[in-house]
Structure 1
Amino acid sequence: MWVFAYGSLIWRPGFDHAGQHRALLRGFHRSFCLWSHRYRGTPEQPGLVLGLDRGGACHGVAFRVPGREAAEVLRYLDDRELPDGAEVVYHRRLVPVRVLDMPGTVVPAVAYVVNRACRNYVPKLDPAKAAAVIAQGIGQMGANRDYLLNTLGHLTQLGVRDAGLERIAALLPAAQGAA
């Protein structure tokens, strides 16, 4: 089984895997398109989280999971991305992912794609507005700013540029307490 990571799964997968590879998914792009009222914000001060939205292309990581561990990894990922009792913000899908260090190799990978029908979906948010929200958001998983910067930093380590995330990061106000 393969799992496509485009956000925090890149730097905090939370499951064992037999390999990780740079990968490309066509037909979707990475976007701060979901309000977060728990993980990266609160109901009073929402944050934003990433989703795979329609259109474009997305570079990320494809994790290879041994077949004997696939069911356990899917349970873990569903618990993480589709928590019981919460609004369904993602749909689990199999998507064709090109494994970039294995020329000509395209694999079906599990990916969590944004549910455009959920009330937390916010399409085409202006980068300045996204930066202002991200600068203020703090939730159960920590600061929204850290989520953005960790994702951007790990993409950079992979040799991936994401102009949209870079633009939002450049618009963040200076961190409080910074000199």
Structure 2
Amino acid sequence: MDLFAQSEHHSKLLETLYPEIKRLAAIQMSRERSNHTLCPTALVNEAYLKMSSEEGMIFNDKQHFLAVCGNCVRQILVSHARTKNAAKRGGGQVPVTLIEGIDDFQAETDMDVLLLDELLIRLETLDPVQVKVVELRFFSGMSNEEISDVLEISLSTVKRKWTMAKAWLYKEMNQ
């Protein structure tokens, strides 16, 4: 049976991909501050709960599942940061390190997850494809080739969009 075509098989799909998803969550959490209250397991569990609460969600393939999971991770981290900031009455920022360990993003930029979310929302008005590329790389850990397949665009377009997005985000973070 094709696990990706049957939404009722979410738990089997998660079981199959759990090691990979947990690895991605661990990478994501390594970018967070050391005293963050979420751990990779909690992040994976929250993402799964969020995904499984969506009625009729069907995944086309592994990349689609991981893309949706990455988007959920982003939403969870942003929500968690907002809750923490609200508890502090707006004080303090939640640091995240934007590090691209997968390829050539050499610059390490300390920032907060809320700023990253705000910048991605702003970037989406300029170029929604760049945002998708960032989400798939940063939150889902996909390679350029996988992103090319998921977004159905050429590999050269993915590379160009990634380069442009990194430059734009770096510039905006350092203003």
Larger RCO, structure (CA 8 Å, separation 6 or more): 1
Task: Tell me the TM-score range normalised by the shorter chain.
Answer: under 0.3
Structure number with higher strand proportion:
1
